[in-house]
Amino acid sequence: MDKNDFSLENVKCTTYYTEKLMKSYRRYTEKSSRILSIIMCAIFAAAAVALLISMFIIFDKQSLALFLIFVVITAISVVNLTVIPNIQIKRSPYYDAEISYEFHNDEIIVTAKNKVETVKSHLGYTEIKYIKENDGCFYLHLGTSQAFIIEKDNLENITPEEFERKLKIRIRQINSIEINI
Q: Is residue 161 scored above 90 in pLDDT?
A: yes
Single out the residue of 99, 80, 109, 86 nearest to residue 22, CA to CA. 86
Helices 61-91, 19-29: axis angle to 10 degrees equals 120
Please state, in angstroms and rounded to a whole number, the distance separating the CA atoms of residues 45 and 48: 5
| Tally of domains in the chain | 2
Q: Which residue has the higher pLDDT, 178 or 58?
A: 58
- Owning domain of residue 146: 3-17+96-180
The answer to the question of residue 23 being in a domain is: no
Compute the mean pLDDT over every residue in the chain, rounded to the nearest whole number: 77
Residues 105 and 173 in one domain: yes
Long-range CB pairs of 62-69, under 8 A, 24+ apart, other chains included: none
Residues 147 and 112 in one domain: yes
pLDDT band at 116 (very low <50, low <70, confident <90, very high): confident
The answer to the question of residue 22 being in a domain is: no
Residues 146 and 112 in one domain: yes
Residues 49 and 111 in one domain: no
The answer to the question of residue 24 being in a domain is: no
Question: What is each CA distance from 15 to 104, 127, 173, in whole angstroms?
Answer: 17, 20, 26
pTM for the structure as a whole = 0.66
| pLDDT per residue as tens digits for the range 144-153 | 777 888 999 9
Please classify residue 133 by burial: count the beta carbons closer than 10 Å to its beta carbon, then call 0-12 exposed, 13-18 middle and 19+ buried. Answer: middle
**What is the pLDDT at residue 91?**
63
CATH code (residue 159): 2.30.29
Choose the final residue of a domain: 91, 122, 139: 91
| pLDDT per residue as tens digits for the range 86-111 | 666 666 667 778 999 999 988 999 99
| pLDDT per residue as tens digits for the range 162-172 | 999 988 888 88
Across 2-16, 44-58, 97-111, least confident range: 44-58
Choose the final residue of a domain: 60, 91, 122: 91
**What is the pLDDT at residue 93?**
65
Residues 63 and 105 in one domain: no
Residues 111 and 127 in one domain: yes
| pLDDT per residue as tens digits for the range 17-48 | 877 877 777 666 555 556 766 777 777 777 77
Choose the final residue of a domain: 49, 65, 91: 91
Residues 78 and 112 in one domain: no
The answer to the question of residue 117 being in a domain is: yes
